[in-house]
Structure 1
Amino acid sequence: MIGKLTGKVDSTGDDWVMLDVGGVGYIVFCSSRTLSVLPGEGEVTSLLIETHVREDHIHLFGFATAAEKEWYLLLGTVQGVGAKVGLAILSAISPDELSVAIAAQDKTTITRANGVGPKLAIRIMNELKDKIAKLSLGTSGEIVDSSASEGKAAATPMAISEDAISALVNLGYRRSEAYSAVAKISSEQGADTPLEELIRGGLAELMR
């Protein structure tokens, strides 16, 4: 099993790079994000490798960072996300953006990837939301999750944060953007920050 390759960049395509490792050319499939950070032809680079072995082929998938590889493996656990779709998602969305989008239940961001429709985006969010390292709001460590906040008292920090996010979304911001802004303000000012201050602070953060 190949876990890493270090060699010279021989040539590249839309979704692959050929690495010359000791005179042997390895074709490695990559996201556009990884391809964009590779050096020029003839220069040496290293890629983390995930090897897919099937009856009719052996494919190598390469990643510039450990975070991208971890996300690729995580996405592969979702039904309907094959090797190519996983790379398409990582080409369109960075690992950090993906974490926020899933935590914020923002399917619009996930559907930016080629081959990902609303139904698959929802499946990705539902199946991975409990597996990712979640973002906490304030010192309480409570997580903003629209599905979890339903039915809770309006006075709880979670519900107040969700109301602030909804208000910013209604102003035209993407849910993931609003989520990040509210999370930052709540973390800086505390979990008991009033709704008006969360909205005002979140809006100021988004307008920077």
Structure 2
Amino acid sequence: MINYIIGNVTAVSDSYIILENNGIGYMITMPSSSIYAIGNMDGDIKVHTYMAVKEDDVSLFGFLTAAELEMFKMLITVSGVGPKGAIGILSSISVDELKMAIAAEDSKLIAAAKGIGSKTAQKIVVELKGKIGKDVFSSQGALTASQGALSGKRTAVHEAIDALEALGFSRSSSVRAIDQLGSLDGMTVSEIIGQALKIIE
């Protein structure tokens, strides 16, 4: 089992990178947020990996942090969530935000991820809530406040991404453009779309 690979990125696409190590190029599927971050890195990088083996296929999935890898492993234990579905979730929401959503039983936030339906999102909440550390929130009050703020912000982001896709832009390009906007506090969906279009175009 390959735990991680350190190497030089020789190619980047919307869904994967090619990481060269000792003359071998590894094709590694990654969350779009990680692919965007890699674009700003120089030199060798360390990618934490998970190898998915099927009868007719062997695939590598990669993450920039061990925390992302551990969450990925948790997600694929849920019935109906495969490696690609887990990557889709982690492309749409950070590990910390996902933990908060699970703790808050916010299945709608999880269902907003591409390829994840409401039933699967509910399964994720039910099956993983007991595995998420109790220290995600220090109190029920913090949970309630964070749930509302998180849900509103992420809903706007997802609506903006969906709108940009409808306009013909790829999901990864849309995510990268919105990431570059920085803080989205107080911005409406229309404002997010407008600012993202300036970056994409």
Q: Describe the shift of the 1:21–1:128 C-alpha distance in structure 2 as closer, same or farther (beyond 3 A).
A: same
Superposition RMSD in Å = 2.9
- Secondary structure in structure 1 of the residue aligned to 2:102: helix
Map residues 182-193 of structure 1 onto 2, 5 A cutoff: none
Of structures 1 and 2, the larger Rg is shown by 1
Instruction: Map Cα deviations across residues 29-67 of structure 1 (whole Å, 9 max, x no partner).
Output: 101121111146983211011111222111111110011
Q: Which residue of 2 aligns with 1:35?
A: 35
Q: Which residue of 1 aligns with 2:64?
A: 64
Gaps of 5+ in 1: 139-143, 145-160, 178-205
Alpha-carbon distance in 1 for matches of 2:30, 2:104: 27
Alpha-carbon distance in 2 for matches of 1:40, 1:96: 22
Q: Which residue of 2 aligns with 1:155?
A: none
Aligned residues: 154
Q: Describe the shift of the 1:136–1:30 C-alpha distance in structure 2 as closer, same or farther (beyond 3 A).
A: closer
- Secondary structure in structure 1 of the residue aligned to 2:81: coil
Gaps of 5+ in 2: 153-184, 187-201
Bigger fraction of residues in helix: 2
Q: Describe the shift of the 1:76–1:83 C-alpha distance in structure 2 as closer, same or farther (beyond 3 A).
A: same
Q: Percent identity?
A: 37
- Secondary structure in structure 1 of the residue aligned to 2:130: coil
- TM, length-normalised to structure 1: 0.66
Query: Aligned letter for 1:34?
Result: S
Q: Which residue of 2 aligns with 1:26?
A: 26
Q: Which has the higher contact order (CA 8 A, sep 6+)?
A: 2
Alpha-carbon distance in 1 for matches of 2:91, 2:19: 20
- Secondary structure in structure 2 of the residue aligned to 1:78: coil
Moved segments of 4+, more than 6 Å = none
Instruction: Map Cα deviations across residues 123-179 of structure 1 (whole Å, 9 max, x no partner).
Output: 1100100011123444xxxxx4xxxxxxxxxxxxxxxx59x949x98xxx45757xx
- TM, length-normalised to structure 2: 0.68
Map residues 1-208 of structure 1 onto 2, 5 A cutoff: 1-39=1-39, 43-134=43-134, 135-138=136-139, 144=140, 161=141, 165=144, 173=148, 176=151
The answer to whether the 8 Å contact 2:97/2:150 transfers is: no
Alpha-carbon distance in 2 for matches of 1:137, 1:26: 41
